[in-house]
Chains A and B, each alone.
Chain A
């Protein structure tokens, strides 16, 4: 197998296996594509095993099983066992719905290293309203406890937006009570369904500043008490002036395989007007090093101004291609988060709108198959 690797790309150390787009929840900030319901023909067990083997040979060490809800797949335990056998550090990223104590134990036996359970809020009422599921919260609590009981490191994930950002202290208290090792407080980023619902989700600057202060105070208290609970607060791009080094560079570290086998340089990239290869048609080595899709934004010859002459281009690679595409209509453009972008006013306008937003939860477009069909019915 020969590859050219014209851009001297690093190996895909991180492999994200999106096993399915099926999910019992309807979170209005889901990062799955809007037209996910159009996807048919999920990869078979054998096809996934082949992807895992190829990825491991290329150097992938971290493996995420995600979705949709990966528990929907009946072959999950089999895939976990194969991944562990290959030497991956395996992460299950789940809503907790469909999980049982028996599965928690069976996955541990298969060699699963870590289960991340997502929550939508610190109380059942709000949690279930955001998730679009009446029983979600109680199930999540029970499964968080089962994960802890089984001896896994416990990672809890909360997506933060204007409807739950007032709960920061309650959320951190809940995590401490559950004995979390890591807590991801990930302020919503605006791709997929979240972009569609941006006005109804984006917190105001004042809300964000308050939340960050609360996290910092909590962190100090944890440090003083010698707690190992680690709080990771992700601030939204829309309140930054410098763009992020998205995915550590296009096709440089991170490889996503979508449920139908489409290989992507990040889990949002499917929205870009680029042809991405499929693991059914090409081996992973060629996909990563040689395919036009993966080479599209490697290097910097593709960059227009202001990136081209910018002295920070090797630091941030011009930011996020998906954000550039969503906000300017052209994925080559500088990420408008950058204050040098001629489209930065669109970010400023979104911030201004967030100061005056009044939309309630019920006005959001929930992520489900019916709503998804609206995005591809011509």
Chain B
């Protein structure tokens, strides 16, 4: 929870109006992100810890209940995909 996620070199996260979604861009590739993936990665700024991100999302989506497990699992998965680094 104290780890700080940051995008791996060459990965860019941005909103695409034409696709009405957040996407992750990388060398010759693009992943269209669903709503929750977009909301989580939108918090990744290389400064905030996983705990900070969970707190921020819980505030943003008060009806969603505790989000710690889901967010951690997603970020682990994103690391496994080599989208982000956690340190």
Contacts and interface: CB of A to CB of B under 8 A. Distances in A.
Interface in B1-36: 8-10, 12, 14, 16-19, 23, 25-30
A153 B9 contact: yes
Contact of B27 (A13, A87, A181): A181
A13 B9 contact: no
B82 A230 contact: yes
Contacts of B12: 89, 113
Contacts of B16: 59, 61
Chain B interface size range: 10 to 19
A204 B86 CA distance: 44
Contacts, number: 55
Contacts of B27: 91, 113-114, 116, 153, 155, 181-182
A59 B19 contact: yes
Contacts of B8: 153, 228
Contact of A181 (B10, B14, B18, B23): B10
B30 A89 contact: yes
A89 B82 CA distance: 18
B28 A64 contact: yes
A120 B42 CA distance: 40
A16 B82 CA distance: 26
Given A89-B30, A228-B82, A153 B23 contact: no
Contacts of B25: 61-62, 89, 113
A146 B61 CA distance: 45
A304 interface: no
A58 B18 CA distance: 7
B18 A11 contact: yes
Q: In the complex, which of the residues A11, A13, A116, A230 has the most CB atoms of chain B within 10 Å of its own CB atom? A: A13
Given A113-B25, A228-B82, A87 B14 contact: yes
Contact of B9 (A11, A87, A151): A151
A62 B9 contact: no
A114 B18 CA distance: 23
A312 B29 CA distance: 26
Contact of B28 (A62, A87, A151, A228): A62
A13 B25 CA distance: 12
A218 interface: no
Contacts of A181: 9-10, 27
A233 interface: no
B30 A13 contact: yes
Nearest to B15: A87
Contact of A59 (B9, B14, B18, B29): B18
Interface of B: 8-10, 12, 14, 16-19, 23, 25-30, 82
Interface of A: 11, 13, 58-59, 61-62, 64, 87, 89, 91, 113-114, 116, 151-153, 155, 181-182, 228, 230
23 contacts: A11-B19, A13-B19, A61-B16, A61-B18, A61-B19, A61-B23, A62-B25, A62-B28, A62-B29, A62-B30, A89-B12, A89-B25, A89-B26, A91-B27, A113-B12, A113-B27, A114-B28, A151-B9, A153-B9, A155-B27, A155-B28, A181-B9, A228-B8
Given A61-B25, A89-B26, A230-B82, 13 more contacts: A11-B18, A11-B19, A13-B30, A61-B19, A61-B23, A61-B30, A62-B30, A87-B14, A89-B12, A89-B30, A153-B9, A181-B9, A182-B27
